[in-house]
Amino acid sequence: MTRLVVAVIVVITVVVAAQYMKRRTTSAPTQGGFQVPTQLDRSDFSDISTPWLVAVFTSATCSTCADVYNKSIVLACADVAVQEVEYTAAKSLHAKYGIDAVPAVVVVDANGVVRSAFLGPVKAQDLWAAVAECRNPGSTPEPQLGHEHDS
């Protein structure tokens, strides 16, 4: 009988200790995804006369950023301004627009509305197609490119 009482006490102690530990353990916080801005103030950027702006948020220490910027710069033309927004040179713009991951590319219309965006590495053809689709809706076979951030 004594063994049974001791066994019950041990089981109860283990259950109580487990419940106590479970309450003390907090769940890891859920991680939010990185986001891109939905609106920019075109006056924050150098060329406000063009109907389109491709702003490439980068960091000097990021080799992927340099690759994405090089893919973006070929888009520059009379209707499309391309501007690199490097972190150390433009910390205030990174902060203003909540840029917390680079590279981040946003395609912005004349009113400052972000029409397309990419975070991280991007294929040149996807970036170019997204800009073409923004400028001329229905012109590409994949009009959703650059809109993954909307979901």
Q: Classify residue 97: in a domain, yes or no.
A: yes
Is residue 76 assigned to a domain? Answer: yes
Residue 86: which H helix or E strand, with range?
A: strand 80-86
Q: Is residue 33 part of a domain?
A: no
- Note whether residue 105 is domain-resident: yes
Cα→Cα distances 64→43, 86, 94, Å = 27, 13, 17
Structure tokens belonging to residue 33? 């995804």
Q: What is the CATH number of the domain that holds 77?
A: 3.40.30.10
- Beginning with the edge strand found earlier in the chain, give each strand of the sheet holding 104-108 in spatial order: 80-86, 52-58, 104-108, 114-119
Sorted by sequence, the CB contacts under 8 Å of residue 72 that are 6+ apart come out as: 54, 56, 82, 105, 127
Is 25 part of a structural domain of the chain? no
CA–CA–CA angle 88, 91, 95 (5° rounding): 150
Residue 102's contacts (CB-CB under 8 Å, 6 or more residues apart) are: 57, 58, 59, 62, 65, 87
pLDDT, residue 151, reads 40
Domain of 82 in residue numbering reads as 42-150
Quick check: is 122 in a domain? yes
pLDDT (tens digit per residue) in 15-45: 888 887 777 656 655 556 678 899 999 999 9
Residues of the chain with pLDDT under 70: 24-33, 140-151
| 11 inside domain | no
Quick check: is 17 in a domain? no
Total domains in the chain come to 1
